[in-house]
Structure 1
Amino acid sequence: MKRWGTRILLTGGLFWLFHTMKLKQRETLQADPGPGPGSVELPDGTITFRLDSAAFWAEFPQLQSYRCRELVPGDGICTGPPGPPLLLLAVKSHPASSARRATARRTWARPGVLGGYRVRAVFLVGVSPEPRHMALLEEESEEFGDVVLWDFTESHHNLSLKERCFLRWVGARCGQADFIFKGDDDEFVNPPALVSYLRQTPNASHVIHGNIQRHAAVMRTTKYRVSSALFPQAKYPDFPSGGGFLMPSASVPALATASERIPVFPLDDVYFGFLVLASGLRYRHDARFRVYGMKDELCLYGEAFVVHGVSLDRVEEVWRGLYEERRCSVTGPVLS
């Protein structure tokens, strides 16, 4: 009998699962507080960034106190006999996004071997209060075995917890990964182009690759707003656009260590930038990690590594046109 199904039947229904999730979340938020008040200073050669831990605890205590707890640990995602180097596609997703995950699995997130790399996807998910969404996620996890579920609730600010918890998960459960692509489920990803890029880039394992935002301005309005009390400075450190970037596994230990002393910033891509700065790691910018603004032309997708904000139907059309119908002269390996 299925793992989740057994637990649900033995405890009287799906309600028990959600009740347990909420209890675990409250316990987690109350337990084991992180670093106490203090200030962290991070110079980047141009600006010295200051993070006041007391301000983060005052405004976002739930981000600082949370300790990563997996409800679905994803034990088997990276297991297997020794073989080609592993490119792990780590995809931030929401329990409600079952259609997006299904499209990804049919197209760019299919497991296989590609140009000398083993490609495997993992979907990084928090908890939804909607039982129907969680039931669908349970079925997916049982069928595909590619879900990691933590016991925090999905929200805009809690995306930073996915960054923090994912670093621990990789270190503990996926040491086999050689490179990790971090992205979202609402985009087109091009693993053949990523593999070609890795094979052609000298010292690819020494830097973090992405569309690097250089000293982006701090927003005080919109959903990306940050208060002056939390972060009074006008500029952020450099960070890779959260829509998609590549990191070598060699960077994970330093990033995980940095996450132990850096307050959890409420914007996930900026938070990652602080971790990179604290770790002393370097970037390599490449515009083929598209954020927005690319013309919607099939052959341009073949040149891109990732294109953010693509509809599900268009993802299917692009994948079919590039790699099944071969309507563009795309150079690169084919997934097998």
Structure 2
Amino acid sequence: MFLNFRRMRKCKWLQLMTTCLVLSVVMVCWEQMENSVFSHVKSYSYRYLVNGFTYINKSLTIPREQARTFSNFDYLLDHPDKCVNKDVLLLLFVKTSPENIERRNAIRSTWGNETYIQKSLGVTVRVMFVLGAIQTKKEEPLWSKRRGQKKLVQEDSLHGDLVQQDFLDSFHNLTLKLILQFHWKHHHCAHARFLMTADDDIFVHMPNLVSYLQDVSSRGVTDFWIGRVHRGAPPIRNKDSKYYVSYEMYQWLSYPDYTAGAGYVVSRDVADKVYHATLTLNASLYIDDVFMGICANAVGVSPQEHVYFSGENKAPYHPCIFDRMMTSHGHVEDIYDLWKAATHPRVKQRTSGLTGRLYCAAVKMALLCNPYHFTTYPCKAAFL
């Protein structure tokens, strides 16, 4: 009896501990569900049932004089004649930070090499790096900032491709970089048929992209905006998140549809419409791709999904992927190797013909219809 009693007390103690553990896990998961799942449900409900984006546009519309404060910065580095007397297919802006010189050099040597593009692809593409003013820590002396700016001036004198305005280069000023790009195009390269914005850790398969844009241009397509589309995304209200947005900054339950800021392309007419939208919209929302969605929504333009524009992670390394690739995200050290592999003539040899197409269909199904790769290309890309 004594042993049974002790055994019973021990079992009850274990049950109590197990119950407390389960409740703790449930509470943590419930908080995560409330922050993610429930917020997405509310966002989709707002988007499809209420659809009050017209109210969003009205709430963010401000006088032109006030809107001008988001674009009226002095240029520290500029090349306003970059597009003069050139038939520019694509004006490509790379968002970069002052210290990322190695990334810029890697892009200049690979997919962003204008000379290669002109000679090998037969088109003019202008690649510009956009950045803000150097930001220093409080304990750093003033001469450190001056030395950093001097290095940028030297880099620009060598390559002639930096566009810099006098606002602090920081995550919270990304929207100012976005506005800079559309204003620069409007004033200095309005005739470029397409505009692309990309991060400096993006890989762009330039031969594929150029071929695609040439086809689009020949068909006279308008209202063109492609990339990795986010639909019904809710604002993040978690203050610990990098993307936290307060109710004061954005009070609505859902963002208008937008493309991931890592890389997207718009046609000339869309670029012009977005430019005019920036003249009357409050740009204090510092998430630049969301602000792009707000601008586009204000002028009646919707994003279109392109399955070979990458999500958050790197695309799988395989010739069958390279054959259709447009962008891939998260490349710094491996950009040289990827450029060499993705543009090698052997890629087209292995993927052409009936045998190559059947082989690639099977490979892409295995690589893309895989839950571990859902943030690169979607499964449906395997069937296109």
Quote the residue 1:210 is aligned against: 227
Is residue 2:131 matched to residue 1:125?
yes
User: Distance in 1 between the 2:246 and 2:68 partners?
Assistant: 16
Q: Which amino acid aligns with 2:329?
A: H
Q: Which amino acid aligns with 2:101?
A: S
Deviations 1:203-240 (A, max 9, x none): 44431111111111211121001012222222110001
Quote the residue 1:19 is aligned against: none
Q: Secondary structure at the match of 2:282?
A: coil
Q: How many residues align?
A: 283
Quote the residue 2:89 is aligned against: 86
User: Distance in 1 between the 2:86 and 2:68 partners?
Assistant: 37
Q: Which amino acid aligns with 2:80?
A: D
Quote the residue 1:97 is aligned against: 100
Deviations 1:89-130 (A, max 9, x none): 111111100000000000011103254421220001111133
Q: Secondary structure at the match of 1:122?
A: strand
Question: Which of residues 338, 344, 365 in structure 2 aligns to 1:318?
Answer: 338
User: Distance in 2 between the 1:233 and 1:197 partners?
Assistant: 36
Question: Which of residues 98, 118, 137 in structure 1 aligns to 2:152?
Answer: 137
Q: What is the CA distance between 1:258 and its match in structure 2?
A: 0.8
Q: Which moved more, 1:196-205 or 1:114-123?
A: 196-205
Is residue 2:272 matched to residue 1:272?
no
Change (3 A) 1:156 1:230: same
Quote the residue 1:231 is aligned against: 250
Q: What is the CA distance between 1:157 and its match in structure 2?
A: 1.4
Deviations 1:187-209 (A, max 9, x none): 11111111122233444443111
Change (3 A) 1:94 1:262: same
Pick the structure with more helix per residue.
Answer: 2
Q: TM-score, normalising length from structure 2?
A: 0.67
For structure 1, the residue ranges without an aligned partner over 5 or more in a row are: 1-42
Question: Whose radius of gyration is greater, 1 or 2?
Answer: 2
Is residue 2:76 matched to residue 1:76?
no
Change (3 A) 1:55 1:214: closer
Q: What is the CA distance between 1:45 and its match in structure 2?
A: 9.0
User: Is the CA contact (8 Å cut-off) linking 1:219 and 1:225 kept in structure 2?
Assistant: yes
Question: Which of residues 25, 48, 51 in structure 1 aligns to 2:52?
Answer: 48
Quote the residue 1:262 is aligned against: 281
User: Is the CA contact (8 Å cut-off) linking 2:95 and 2:129 kept in structure 1?
Assistant: yes
User: Distance in 2 between the 1:54 and 1:46 partners?
Assistant: 16
Change (3 A) 1:288 1:110: same
Q: Secondary structure at the match of 2:233?
A: coil
Q: What is the CA distance between 1:51 and its match in structure 2?
A: 4.5
User: Distance in 2 between the 1:98 and 1:211 partners?
Assistant: 27
Q: Which amino acid aligns with 1:233?
A: W
For structure 2, the residue ranges without an aligned partner over 5 or more in a row are: 1-46, 136-144, 353-384
> For the aligned residues, what is the CA RMSD?
2.9
Residues 278-297 of structure 1 mapped to structure 2, 5 A cutoff:
278-297=298-317
Q: What is the CA distance between 1:164 and its match in structure 2?
A: 1.2
Q: Percent of aligned positions with the same letter in both sequences? A: 27
Deviations 1:5-28 (A, max 9, x none): xxxxxxxxxxxxxxxxxxxxxxxx
Q: TM-score, normalising length from structure 1?
A: 0.76
User: Distance in 2 between the 1:179 and 1:66 partners?
Assistant: 22
